[in-house]
């Protein structure tokens, strides 16, 4: 995959949080390239800054220092409006706790994304892709965790994002549901060529990635390349 | 429909109880706003067409007697466009069905109908015919109250002669939109009438051939700003004919009262509703902040997937706007109804050819805009929360609420004696400062309205008490047209049924100090008399000085003098020389601007024999005695007015009973809306926020009632504290509004009985207990199992 064009480039990215008097220096110079179409897994200990990094890749946070470019355009200093447009057009998010709107049905939750996107899928089609066509009118409270996460995925893919970001997407799920979600992610990655960045604690999942980046002490400590990714259902747990 | 709007609908559906509570408060505020402004406009429209169709005068002068030809020439004076002179007298009627003589004012009208200044509008019957000299047109209200119809005849005592007047019609006039009988405080249509008689008949009867004693006139449009100056120069010019009264329209009784009523209505339309709207905006803020906290992750997620701040802001503005819109629409409907009720009430007090409630789209639109504006105001803080929320931040779990010790815990002796539940409640209240402050503030607003209401009732009772039990203790006042010798007093004293009598001399005059001057009268009363007792504002009787004046504090203020200063007094009648008299002390004067002096001293400074023109009497109350007395009184020569104070007090009391007590009930209901709205809004938010906590208590074995009690205690604390703050607030408002009502004609005391504070507190407690019913019902409907497993 390293011969694919570079989709995103992070150079010397720092992020500091001010907590009262104390400055917490979480990222201290991250350099990372993300290639178009790859599946990149980010690993690191709890509190090492994985989510912080992912937030900056997705444009819901900005670095204290350094640059992040997407298709050669610097997004690290964009104003709120342009940054919002970047997220709206390019990024699909999948969160650990699904983050669905509880008062909207599955279909309506997907519609929240498609309504503001440029050439989106039909929300029903997106739900069909994640295998929920018989649940479209259910509300989040009436869905299992795995089903809720699939709705969240439908919401993310429905706008045809170039980049999909998943922060521990299976962190709250059992084994069976985990496999199902991973298979879906992989299918999307393969069939649509959507670039995927995923955070996980599960060592087993690294088997399906093209590359694995390890964060430690605020920098990318190591990037390993997996020359032969396997299918999700073939992962060894 | 956009998906976000669907979310909006469901959010509204979930919190409709709270939105309804807020809307109800808005509706009351907007209702009062629209209602009072509409009522004021109803009056305004009715007034302007009435005034122009009757050609209402711009100024009035009452004289002793002046040649008509000379008055007519005043039309040449610059600034004056038209003059009318007429003859008018207070008279007594000798109606068969009434025990005592009824008073009336006769006013001359041209023999032939013509569009004169202060014209009348015929309501039934006709204008004068050529047939009889003694035709009369009587005021419609009096005719209705006395059941007199065209064709009837009325025996009247005109210039000491008993004459039959033939009623040809009934009429109304813009000059008397509001009328009270002389010396009275309220209109009692049956006790005093207006009678229009032919000019020729008036001349003959009163010996006024070619003469007049009343002047009314119109000013040229460009001279209207200077009405006061022109009237003063006219009255100077006519001084030699004896000027009793000289007033521009703004100070003439009926236009002044009507004007005052409309001004008050308009002021109240802005002041009163603001209480409700401010409370509603604050409650809405609490609700919006809660919503923003509850929807933290939802907002963060929507931002993360590309929703702009602006879109989300509009989304939440719409949520608040539903409360504003609902409140506004109900408020407008309520306001229209309120305007109708108010207008109907005015029909009783004011006489207009047509006074009806109309629909004013611009006022309704204004009401709607104001309510939406205040609901937007109510979103400010919540929206700020939402705008500030960074998506990355929103993904992280909310920081746990700040713990730590609250200040009350440091008062160990107090704190340790509380049970755990009280400790929990007090901690919660002190940690949620903003919300607690809103609850306390709402209760303070509610209770200040209740206190104000009780204060109005107490003050009116006090006014009646001061007026009729302190100041005036007589049963009747007998007023004569001219000064009579003291023997008339002796004669009255010996009439059957008279228990006690006191002579009174009223001297109409002009008071002058430097550049201030004001027309009025000095009332000479006997020292150590029992029947008239001037008091200070508190109701303490002020002893009458043997020399010098007791003057209404309001008049002293207008003349800019203080006790010890002197005032120049120019009597209207008699020897016209200026007297310089000392003012000894200020007194309270609720009706008019009274000035008192010792009877003998006043006669002495005037250089006259002991004269009287009024006698105050106490009379026996037995039926036969009263009848006998009245029979003698009705034929007394020169008697112009007979004032029955007992009847006045009764009429005043019954009118206050009707008007005050019913509007008091309405005001208290309005206050109840604030109490209920604030309590329910606050408690329902607290329940939704603390569901898990409540569920934990229930699983631990607490009864539903015990859980509900936590909320009850919490509401008691905030509402009792708020009510206590509202008590002095309401009292200040009472003083303020009584000052707003002050005119030259009236000033009322501000009085609040101690028990009224108690009643207010009692009502607040009652409101809390009543709202607890709804709180318990809501708790009963909660699904605790679900709450326990809920992930928020
Ligand atoms: N808004 C913030 N304010 C202060 N500190 C923050 C903030 N966001 C993150 N941090 C700190 O930055 C560090 C990294 O946080 P981050 O959420 O990126 O970790 P992570 O690698 O995703 O951990 P986990 O695996 O537990 O999700 C933590 O120490 C965290 O406390
Ligand atoms: Mg994380």
DSSP string, B640-652: EEEEEHHHHHHHH
Q: Distance between CA B553 and CA B593 in Å, rounded?
A: 8
Domain-located, residue B464: yes
Query: In B, what residues contact A, Cβ < 8 A?
Result: 2-4, 6-7, 10-11, 14, 297-298, 300-309, 311, 390-392, 395, 791
B584 in Cβ contact with B511 (< 8 Å): no
Reported as half-sphere exposure (CB side, CA atoms, 13 A), residue B418 has a value of 17
Q: Distance between CA A17 and CA A47 in Å, rounded?
A: 13
Q: Distance between CA A196 and CA A212 in Å, rounded?
A: 12
Q: Distance between CA B119 and CA B125 in Å, rounded?
A: 16
Helical axes B433-465 vs B253-294, angle rounded to 10°:
160
> Closest residue (by CA) to atom 18 of ligand 1?
A49
Residue B574, pLDDT score? 75
Centre of ligand 2 to C-alpha A102, Å, is: 23
- The residues, any chain, with a CB within 8 Å of residue B65's CB and separated by 6 or more, are B208, B211, B212, B213, B241, B242
Domain-located, residue A153: yes
Q: Distance between CA B273 and CA B275 in Å, rounded?
A: 5
Q: Distance between CA B144 and CA B189 in Å, rounded?
A: 8
Strands in B80-86's sheet, in edge-to-edge order, are B80-86, B211-219, B59-67, B243-248
Give A101-159 pLDDT, tens digit per residue. Answer: 888 899 999 998 898 888 899 999 999 999 999 999 998 888 998 999 999 999 999 99
Range of the domain at B358: 1-49+250-399
Whether the per-residue pLDDT at A29 is higher than 90: the answer is: yes
Which among A85, A95, A155 has CB closest to B395?
A: A95
Domain boundary among B399, B414, B435: B399
Identify the CA nearest to A123 among candidates B312, B1, B3, B299. B3
Domain tally, chain B: 4
Q: Do B10 and A61 touch (CB under 8 A)?
A: no
Residue A237 CB burial class (10 angstroms; 0-12, 13-18, ≥19) = exposed
Set of chain B residues whose Cβ sits within 8 Å of the Cβ of A58? 304
Is A47 near ligand 1, meaning CB less than 6 Å away?
Answer: yes
Range of the domain at A104: 36-60+80-234
Cα–Cα distances (Å) from B538 to B300, B313, B469, B594, in that order, read: 64, 57, 14, 17
Count of beta carbons in the 10 Å neighbourhood of residue B188: 20
Q: Distance between CA B773 and CA B764 in Å, rounded?
A: 15
Map B131-157 to HEC letters: CCCCEEEEEHHHHHHHCCCCCCEEEEE
Q: Distance between CA B365 and CA B214 in Å, rounded?
A: 47
At residue B316, the 3 state secondary structure works out as helix
Whether the CB of A111 is below 8 Å from some CB of chain B: the reply is yes
The mean predicted confidence, pLDDT, of chain A is 92
Q: What is the number of the ligand 1 atom nearest to the C-alpha of A15?
A: 12
CA angle (B439, B442, B446) in 5-degree steps: 140
Domain-located, residue A97: yes
Same domain, B449 and B550: no
Q: Which residues of chain B have pLDDT under 50?
A: 790, 792
Whether the CB of A84 is below 8 Å from some CB of chain B: the reply is yes
Domain-located, residue A230: yes
> Closest residue (by CA) to atom 7 of ligand 1?
A17
Count of beta carbons in the 10 Å neighbourhood of residue B558: 16
> Closest residue (by CA) to atom 17 of ligand 1?
A51
Q: What is the least distance, in Å, from the CA of B296 to any CA of chain A?
A: 10
Q: Distance between CA B188 and CA B645 in Å, rounded?
A: 13
Identify the CA nearest to B638 among candidates B161, B196, B181. B161
Same domain, B465 and B486: no
> Closest residue (by CA) to atom 16 of ligand 1?
A49
Domain boundary among B336, B367, B399: B399
Centre of ligand 1 to C-alpha A214, Å, is: 16
Domain-located, residue A12: no
Instruction: Give the bridge partners for B567, in sequence order.
Output: B581
**Which phi-psi region, left, alpha or beta, contains residue B788 (left: φ > 0; alpha: ψ -120 to 50)?**
alpha
Same domain, B264 and B387: yes
Domain-located, residue A74: no
- Tell me the pTM: 0.85
The residue of B304, B388, B394 whose CB has the most chain A CBs within 10 angstroms, and thus the best one to mutate to test that interface, is B304
A208 in Cβ contact with A232 (< 8 Å): yes
Which among A60, A80, A117 has CB closest to B392?
A: A60
Same domain, B164 and B44: no
Set of chain B residues whose Cβ sits within 8 Å of the Cβ of A161? none
CA-based radius of gyration for chain A: 17
Between strands B549-552 and B579-587, the pairing is parallel
Domain-located, residue A198: yes
Q: Do B306 and A93 touch (CB under 8 A)?
A: no
Same domain, B82 and B228: yes
For every residue of B685-732, DSSP letters joined together read: HHHHHTHHHHHHHHHHT--HHHHHHHHHHHHHHHHHHHHHHHHHHHHH
**Could you say which DSSP state residue B545 is in?**
P
Centre of ligand 1 to C-alpha A47, Å, is: 5
Domain-located, residue B628: no
Same domain, B101 and B227: yes
Domain boundary among B580, B602, B620: B620
Domain-located, residue B631: no
Domain-located, residue A170: yes
Q: Distance between CA A173 and CA B301 in Å, rounded?
A: 20
For every residue of B5-50, DSSP letters joined together read: HHHHHHHHHHTHHHHHHHHHHHHHHHHHHHHHHHHHHHHHHHHHHH
Whether the CB of A103 is below 8 Å from some CB of chain B: the reply is yes
Same domain, B339 and B272: yes
The beta strand positions in chain A, using DSSP E, are: 6-19, 22-35, 39-44, 65-70, 73-74, 91-94, 163-167, 195-199, 211-216, 219-225
Is A52 near ligand 1, meaning CB less than 6 Å away?
Answer: yes
Domain-located, residue B413: no
H or E element in which residue B565 lies: none
Residue B417, pLDDT score? 81
Same domain, B575 and B589: yes
| CATH number of the domain encompassing residue A173 | 3.40.50.300
Set of chain A residues whose Cβ sits within 8 Å of the Cβ of B304? 58, 60, 87, 93
Same domain, B456 and B520: no
The pick from A15, A22, A47 for probing ligand 1's pocket by mutation, whose C-beta has the most ligand atoms within 8 angstroms, reads A47
Long-range contacts of B258-267 (CB under 8 A, 24+ apart): B258/B43, B258/B47, B258/B177, B258/B178, B258/B350, B260/B741, B260/B743, B261/B43, B261/B346, B262/B40, B262/B43, B262/B44, B262/B47, B264/B740, B264/B741, B265/B36, B265/B37, B265/B39, B265/B40, B265/B43, B266/B36, B266/B37, B266/B40, B267/B740
Whether the per-residue pLDDT at A75 is higher than 90: the answer is: yes
For every residue of B173-189, DSSP letters joined together read: EGGGSS---TT-SS--G
Count of beta carbons in the 10 Å neighbourhood of residue B78: 8
Strands in A22-35's sheet, in edge-to-edge order, are A22-35, A6-19, A65-70, A73-74
Q: Distance between CA B25 and CA B278 in Å, rounded?
A: 10
Domain tally, chain A: 1
**Which phi-psi region, left, alpha or beta, contains residue A12 (left: φ > 0; alpha: ψ -120 to 50)?**
left
B273 in Cβ contact with B765 (< 8 Å): no
Same domain, B105 and B221: yes
Whether the per-residue pLDDT at A1 is higher than 60: the answer is: no
Same domain, B453 and B485: no
Residue B309 CB burial class (10 angstroms; 0-12, 13-18, ≥19) = middle
Same domain, B697 and B680: yes
Is B390 near ligand 1, meaning CB less than 6 Å away?
Answer: no
Residue B1, pLDDT score? 58
Domain-located, residue B132: yes
Identify the CA nearest to B212 among candidates B191, B242, B232. B242
Q: What is the number of the ligand 1 atom nearest to the C-alpha of A50?
A: 21
For every residue of B218-277, DSSP letters joined together read: EE-GGGGGGHHHHHHHHHHHTGGG-EEEEEEGGGSHHHHHHHHHHHHHHHHHHHHHHHHH
Set of chain B residues whose Cβ sits within 8 Å of the Cβ of A112? 3-4, 7, 302, 305, 307
The residue of A102, A144, A199 whose CB has the most chain B CBs within 10 angstroms, and thus the best one to mutate to test that interface, is A102
Count of beta carbons in the 10 Å neighbourhood of residue A18: 9
At residue B216, the 3 state secondary structure works out as strand
Which among B305, B309, B391 has CB closest to A113?
A: B305
- Could you tell me how far CA B611 lies from the centroid of its own chain? 40
Give B508-518 pLDDT, tens digit per residue. Answer: 999 999 888 88
Residue B589, pLDDT score? 87
Cα–Cα distances (Å) from B346 to A117, B40, B177, B341, B655, in that order, read: 61, 10, 11, 9, 13
Torsion of CA B77, B80, B85, B88, to 10 degrees: -120
Domain-located, residue A11: no
CA-based radius of gyration for chain B: 33
Residue B712, pLDDT score? 93
Q: Would the ipTM clear 0.95, i.e. be above it?
A: no
**Ion ligand 2: protein residues whose beta carbon lies under 5 Å:** A 51
Residue B381, pLDDT score? 86
């Amino acid at each position: 995959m390293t011969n694919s064009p570079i989709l995103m480039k992070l150079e010397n990215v720092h992020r500091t949080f001010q907590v009262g008097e104390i400055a917490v220096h979480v990222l201290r110079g991250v350099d990372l390239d993300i290639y178009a179409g790859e599946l990149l897994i980010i690993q690191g200990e709890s509190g090492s800054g994985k989510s912080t990094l992912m937030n900056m890749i997705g444009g819901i946070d900005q670095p204290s220092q350094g640059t992040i470019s997407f298709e050669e355009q610097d997004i690290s200093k964009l104003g709120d409006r342009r940054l919002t447009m970047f997220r709206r057009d390019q990024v699909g998010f999948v969160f650990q706790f699904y983050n669905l709107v509880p008062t909207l049905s599955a279909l309506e939750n997907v519609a929240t994304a498609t309504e503001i996107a440029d050439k989106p899928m039909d929300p029903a089609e997106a739900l069909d892709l994640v295998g929920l066509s018989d649940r479209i009118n259910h509300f989040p409270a009436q869905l299992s965790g795995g089903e809720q996460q699939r709705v969240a995925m439908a919401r993310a893919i429905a706008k045809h994002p170039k980049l999909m970001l998943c922060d521990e997407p299976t962190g709250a799920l059992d084994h069976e549901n985990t496999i199902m979600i991973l298979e879906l992610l992989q299918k999307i990655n393969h069939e649509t060529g959507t670039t995927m960045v995923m955070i996980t604690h599960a060592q087993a999942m690294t088997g399906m990635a093209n590359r694995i980046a390890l964060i430690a002490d605020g920098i990318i400590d190591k990037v390993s390349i997996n020359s032969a990714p396997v299918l999700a259902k073939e992962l060894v747990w | 429909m956009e998906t976000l709007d669907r979310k909006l609908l469901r959010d509204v559906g979930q919190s409709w109880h709270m939105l309804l509570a807020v809307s109800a408060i808005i509706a009351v505020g907007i209702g009062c706003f629209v209602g009072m402004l509409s009522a004021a406009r109803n009056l305004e429209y009715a007034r302007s067409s009435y005034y122009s169709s009757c050609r209402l005068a711009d100024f009035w002068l009452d004289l002793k007697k002046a040649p008509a030809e000379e008055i007519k020439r005043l039309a040449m004076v610059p600034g004056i466009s038209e003059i009318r002179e007429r003859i008018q007298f207070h008279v007594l009627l000798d109606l068969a069905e009434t025990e005592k003589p009824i008073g009336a004012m006769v006013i001359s009208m041209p023999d032939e109908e013509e569009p004169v200044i202060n014209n009348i509008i015929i309501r039934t019957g006709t204008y004068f015919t050529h047939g009889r000299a003694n035709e009369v047109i009587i005021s419609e209200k009096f005719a209705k109250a006395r059941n007199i119809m065209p064709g009837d005849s009325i025996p009247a005592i005109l210039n000491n002669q008993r004459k039959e007047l033939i009623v040809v019609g009934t009429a109304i006039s813009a000059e008397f939109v509001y009328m009270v009988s002389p010396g009275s405080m309220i209109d009692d249509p049956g006790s005093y009438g207006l009678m229009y008689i032919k000019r020729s008949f008036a001349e003959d009867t009163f010996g006024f051939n070619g003469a007049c004693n009343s002047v009314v006139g119109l000013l040229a449009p460009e001279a209207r700003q200077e009405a006061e100056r022109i009237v003063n120069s006219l009255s100077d010019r006519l001084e030699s004919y004896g000027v009793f009264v000289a007033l521009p329209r703004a100070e003439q009784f009926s236009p002044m009262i009507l004007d005052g009523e409309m001004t008050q209505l308009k002021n109240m339309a802005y002041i009163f509703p603001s209480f409700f709207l401010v409370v509603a905006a604050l409650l809405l803020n609490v609700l919006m902040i809660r919503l923003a906290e509850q929807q933290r992750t939802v907002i963060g997620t929507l931002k993360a997937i590309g929703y702009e701040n602006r879109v989300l802001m509009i989304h939440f503005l719409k949520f608040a706007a539903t409360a504003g819109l609902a409140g506004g629409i109900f408020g407008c409907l309520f306001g229209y109804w309120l305007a109708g009720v108010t207008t109907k009430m005015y029909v009783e007090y004011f006489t207009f050819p047509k006074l009806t409630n109309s629909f004013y789209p611009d006022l309704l639109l204004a009401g709607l805009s104001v309510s939406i504006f205040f609901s937007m105001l109510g979103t400010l803080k919540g929206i700020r929360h939402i705008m500030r929320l960074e998506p990355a931040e929103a993904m992280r779990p909310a920081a746990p609420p700040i713990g730590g010790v609250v200040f009350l815990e440091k008062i160990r002796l107090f704190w340790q004696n509380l049970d755990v539940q009280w400790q929990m409640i007090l901690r919660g209240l002190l940690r949620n400062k903003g919300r607690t402050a809103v609850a306390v503030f709402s209760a303070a607003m509610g209770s200040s309205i209740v206190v104000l209401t009780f204060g109005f009732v107490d003050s009116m009772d006090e006014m009646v008490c001061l007026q009729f039990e302190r100041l005036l203790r007589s049963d009747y006042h007998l007023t004569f047209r001219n000064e009579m010798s003291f023997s008339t007093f002796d004669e009255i004293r010996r009439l059957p049924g008279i228990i006690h009598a006191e002579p009174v001399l009223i001297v109409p005059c002009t008071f002058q100090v430097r550049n201030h001057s004001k027309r009025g009268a000095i009332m000479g009363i006997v020292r150590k008399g029992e029947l008239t007792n001037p008091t200070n504002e508190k109701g303490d009787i002020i002893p009458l000085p043997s020399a010098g004046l007791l003057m209404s504090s309001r008049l002293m203020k207008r003349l800019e003098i203080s006790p010890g200063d002197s005032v120049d007094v120019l009597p209207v009648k008699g020897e016209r020389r200026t007297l310089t008299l000392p003012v000894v002390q200020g007194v309270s004067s609720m009706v008019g601007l009274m000035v008192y002096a010792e009877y003998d001293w006043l006669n002495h400074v005037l250089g006259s024999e002991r004269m009287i023109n009024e006698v105050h009497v106490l009379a026996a109350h037995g039926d036969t005695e009263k009848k006998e007395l009245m029979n003698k009184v009705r034929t007394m020569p020169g008697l112009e007015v007979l004032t029955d104070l007992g009847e006045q007090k009764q009429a005043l009391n019954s009118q206050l009973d009707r008007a005050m007590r019913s509007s008091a009930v309405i005001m208290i209901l309005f206050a109840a809306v604030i109490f209920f709205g604030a309590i329910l809004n606050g408690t329902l938010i607290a329940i939704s926020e603390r569901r898990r906590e409540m569920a934990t208590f229930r699983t631990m074995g607490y009864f539903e009632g015990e859980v509900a009690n936590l909320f009850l205690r919490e509401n008691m604390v905030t509402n009792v504290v708020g009510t206590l703050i509202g008590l002095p607030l309401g009292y200040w408002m009472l003083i303020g509004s009584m000052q707003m009502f002050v005119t030259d004609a009236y000033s009322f005391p501000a009085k609040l009985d101690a028990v009224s504070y108690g009643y207010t507190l009692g009502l607040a407690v009652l409101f809390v207990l009543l709202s607890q019913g709804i709180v318990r019902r809501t708790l009963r409907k909660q699904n605790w199992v679900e709450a326990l497993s809920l992930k928020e």
